[in-house]
């Protein structure tokens, strides 16, 4: 369904900027700075040495009935799972349908946002690798 407002960024109708594809922002509450690659690597399960047990990685557990890339297949709305992480407790806010106007570097006035332009934050505890992990996440 397309509304009257222009959907997404349009640059002479040739490019869309994908904002919501891959920006899961993570930050440990300790304030330690991590870059995107190191976040992914640091939560990946390590290979046990000398027959040690493996408890899996510390990556957040996805919502079982949604895809692990987040809630791209489920817009935020009443009475749905708003979290992007399973086994989570904490603060959460989520908004959907952000839109407005803006200006590009050539001075063109452009509408931005779609009915599924979705931003959120999650701050609290999630369970992974058989232990509680503290983290803040933002989803764009």
Q: Could you list the residues that contact another protein (CB under 8 A)?
A: 9, 11, 14-19, 21-23, 25-27, 29-31, 33-36, 39, 61, 63, 65, 76-83, 85-105, 110, 112-113, 115, 119, 121-125, 127, 136, 138, 140
What is the spatial distance between Cα 24 and Cα 122, in angstroms, rounded to a whole number? 11
The H or E element spanning position 6 is none
Q: How far is the CB of 33 from another protein (least distance, A)?
A: 5
Question: Residue 48 has what DSSP assignment?
Answer: P
For residues 36 and 44, which CB has a smaller minimum distance to another protein in the complex? 36
For residues 14 and 49, which CB has a smaller minimum distance to another protein in the complex? 14
CA 11-23-15 angle, to 5 degrees, is 15
Q: In this structure, how many other beta carbons lie within 10 angstroms of the beta carbon of residue 74?
A: 17
For residues 16 and 48, which CB has a smaller minimum distance to another protein in the complex? 16
- The phi-psi region of residue 56 (left if phi > 0; otherwise alpha if psi is between -120 and 50; otherwise beta) is left
Contact partners, residue 116, CB within 8 Å, separation at least 6:
20, 72, 75, 96, 97
Q: How far is the CB of 135 from another protein (least distance, A)?
A: 10
Q: How far is the CB of 46 from another protein (least distance, A)?
A: 22
Q: How far is the CB of 71 from another protein (least distance, A)?
A: 12
For residues 1 and 47, which CB has a smaller minimum distance to another protein in the complex? 1
**Contact between 80 and 74 (Cβ < 8 Å):** yes
Q: How far is the CB of 4 from another protein (least distance, A)?
A: 14
């Amino acid at each position: 369904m397309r509304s009257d407002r222009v959907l997404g960024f349009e640059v002479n109708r040739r490019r869309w900027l994908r904002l919501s594809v891959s920006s899961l922002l993570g930050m440990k509450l300790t304030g330690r700075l991590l870059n995107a690659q190191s976040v992914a690597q640091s939560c990946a399960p390590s290979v046990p040495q000398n027959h040690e047990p493996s408890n899996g990685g510390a990556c957040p557990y996805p919502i079982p009935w949604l895809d692990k890339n987040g809630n791209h297949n489920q817009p935020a709305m009443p009475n749905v799972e708003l979290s992007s992480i399973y086994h989570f407790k904490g603060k959460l806010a989520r908004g959907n349908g952000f839109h407005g106007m803006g200006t590009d570097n050539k001075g063109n006035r452009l509408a931005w946002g779609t009915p599924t332009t979705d931003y959120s934050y999650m701050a609290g505890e999630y369970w992974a690798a058989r232990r509680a992990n503290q983290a803040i996440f933002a989803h764009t």
